[in-house]
Chains A and B, each alone.
Chain A
Amino acid sequence: MAKLVKETEHPLFKKSSKLRTERFGKGLTFAAVLLTALLTAAIFFLVISKGLSTFFVNGGSVKEFFTGSTWNPGQKHEGGSPIIGALPFLTGSLAVTGLSALICTPLAIGAALFMSEISPKAGRKVMQPVIELLVGIPSVVYGFIGLSVVVPLLRDHVTGSGFGIAAGTIVLSVMILPTVTSLALDAIQAVPRSLREASLALGSTRWQMIYKVILKTAKPGLLMAVIFGMARAFGEALAVQMVIGNASVIPHSLFEPASTLTSILTMGMGYTVLGTAENNALWTLALILLLMSLAFTIAVRWIGRGKPQ
């Protein structure tokens, strides 16, 4: 039998210094993850607890929140519950988001197809840098341009004061266009070259290849691009607030002043005191925004997981 070496003497049992750095690194990254997770949890907790207190502490009605059209949380109904009809902002937010996605999607997919299929050279050299530049422009600049160009244009050539859902939609469409285009481009470029060749070898025209193979194959990615754009549009505050007019009424026309969840939130938060019903009502709006962004994220994940071929 081999002679037993005492545990502490054998070099394999010695603690190496590398092991220590390894553990240190592990601890450091774990701490970072923990901090991020804690922060997220704290934010969720704060927004949820504050947002729900409108209903549980101040006695607001959930039904009224989603269906009522008068927003005046500082005042109370006869029964003592705050007046919290958020329907105008909900419809405003959904309208600008949906409409801007509707305008943006064909433009973005068209631009992405041009860059990938029609003129890859010009796409790479000219369009890509332009789009990256557009993504980087702060939203307040888009809002400012909207205020100085879009609003007067609508006022002079269409109808009304120029402020309203139409102006918000136009500004948002332009704002999310680069993001959606760039994501759509990724999705289209991910379609394997072999599928393009297979289609052309069967005698398809380039256009048939694009709409029968490329768009079909890239569909989950394209859907993801649009949802990302919608998430951005839904959460955008500044640019929209500058051009939408901020009237808390249910809009009957695209050219009348309206408001969104974000615009009411940014307008109101400076004028309320923490803990009051008025303040809590704003937290409820924040909660809706949070839940919507969560829904967008889940939708993207769900589509991104994709179905196996």
Chain B
Amino acid sequence: MRQAAAEHILTPAIRTEDFRFYYGSHEALKGITLSVEQNEITALIGPSGCGKSTFLRSLNRMNDLIPDTRTAGEIWIGGKDITKPAEDTVALRKQVGMVFQHASPFPFSIYDNVAYGPRIHGKVRKAELDELVESCLQSAALWDEVKDTLNKPAGSLSGGQQQRLMIARALATKPDILLMDEPTSALDPISGAKIERLIQSLKTQFTIVLVTHNMQQAARISDRTAFFLNGEVKETGRTEMIFNSPVYEETKDYISGKFG
């Protein structure tokens, strides 16, 4: 175990090499070179339209769904350049889970929502599924609230519960990396704080990339921060460095709220 952990520190979970993304002829990402370390929370911050969400969605190829886009450069995850068209997106997305801004529970029961991922990847044995659903709900700090109502529709949960269910659902495919796109921005502060605590507890098992508009959130829970501006990574480093002694004037202005 020790040895494996040491190895992890040496290889970043995600490494991008001059990654570019184009919507038609518009270059939305202008050469991103960034490393995301294992078992850390990396926060992507920056003003609207800076490309941080586009970058996040490139990491599990969700941008494939948008017509008329193309990429250049490389993204290395698990020893593979996942930008290659031949790369298996099904396997990639199983390995790189995603939690969206708005909870989108399937109109099924709580249980079936969590079991969805394992089922599409071929896990059908009831006992195995039961165990997995329970452990994922427990990891997402939702088990105690729903253990007696697993057959109730997921839509009957509160907003914060739904978002934790989405995290449980993402965990159920046993990913290595979790991408989170502003997971708390649609929630009230109390539910948001719960999710934040949850995210922090998850980093022992997962590598987390978190897009957030909430500077305090980035400062509170992330280990590393990358500041995006106009399709480039302006500055990146340990979160306390970025927030306490940023190198660039723009970074300082952004984190002190001069522009957003």
Contacts and interface: CB of A to CB of B under 8 A. Distances in A.
Chain B associates with chain A: yes
Interface of A: 192, 194-195, 197-205, 208, 212-213, 216-217, 308-309
Nearest to A194: B104
Contact of A195 (B89, B104, B120, B173): B104
A221 to B, nearest CB: 12
Interface in B120-177: 120-121, 153-156, 166, 169-170, 173
Secondary structure at the A interface, as helix, strand, loop or mixed, is helix
Contacts of B91: 203
Shortest 7 CB-CB contacts between residues of A and residues of B = A309-B155, A203-B94, A194-B104, A203-B93, A201-B98, A202-B117, A198-B104
B116 interface: yes
B120 A202 contact: yes
A115 to B, nearest CB: 16
B155 A203 contact: no
Contacts of B156: 309
Contact of B100 (A194, A217, A308): A194
Which among A194, A201, A204 has the greatest number of chain B C-beta atoms within 10 A?
A: A201
Given A197-B65, A309-B156, A203 B173 contact: yes
A197 B89 CA distance: 13
Contacts of A202: 93-94, 97, 116-117, 120, 169-170, 173
B43 to A, nearest CB: 20
A222 to B, nearest CB: 14
B9 interface: no
B153 A197 contact: no
A119 to B, nearest CB: 11
A178 B35 CA distance: 53
B107 A309 contact: yes
Given A201-B97, A203-B117, A208-B120, A213 B106 contact: yes
B120 A204 contact: yes
A32 to B, nearest CB: 39
Given A202-B94, A202-B116, 13 more contacts: A194-B100, A194-B102, A198-B166, A201-B62, A202-B169, A203-B92, A203-B120, A205-B120, A212-B116, A213-B106, A309-B107, A309-B153, A309-B155
Contacts of B116: 199, 202, 212
Given A195-B106, A216-B108, A309-B107, A204 B90 contact: yes
Nearest to B169: A202
Contacts of A194: 100, 102, 104
Contacts of B120: 199, 202-205, 208, 212
Contacts of B92: 203
Nearest to A204: B120
Contacts of A195: 104, 106-107
A205 B91 CA distance: 10
B60 interface: yes
Interface string B41-69: 00000000000000000001010010000
Contacts, number: 69
Interface in B165-203: 166, 169-170, 173
Interface string B230-258: 00000000000000000000000000000
B186 to A, nearest CB: 12
A211 B186 CA distance: 29
Contacts of B119: 212
A191 to B, nearest CB: 9
A197 B106 contact: no
A213 B113 CA distance: 11
A195 B116 CA distance: 12
A216 B119 CA distance: 15
A212 B97 CA distance: 19
Contacts of B60: 201
B177 to A, nearest CB: 12
A197 B94 contact: no
A189 to B, nearest CB: 16
Contacts of B170: 201-202
A202 to B, nearest CB: 4
Contacts of A213: 106
B175 to A, nearest CB: 9
A205 B155 contact: no
A213 to B, nearest CB: 6
A202 B171 CA distance: 9
Contacts of B65: 197, 200
27 contacts: A194-B104, A195-B104, A195-B106, A197-B62, A197-B100, A198-B100, A199-B120, A200-B62, A201-B60, A201-B93, A201-B97, A201-B98, A201-B100, A202-B93, A203-B90, A203-B91, A203-B93, A203-B120, A203-B121, A204-B90, A205-B120, A208-B120, A212-B119, A216-B106, A308-B153, A309-B155, A309-B156
Interface string B68-91: 000000000000000000000111
Nearest to B95: A203
A200 B117 CA distance: 10
Nearest to B108: A216
Contacts of B102: 194
Nearest to A208: B120
B173 A198 contact: no
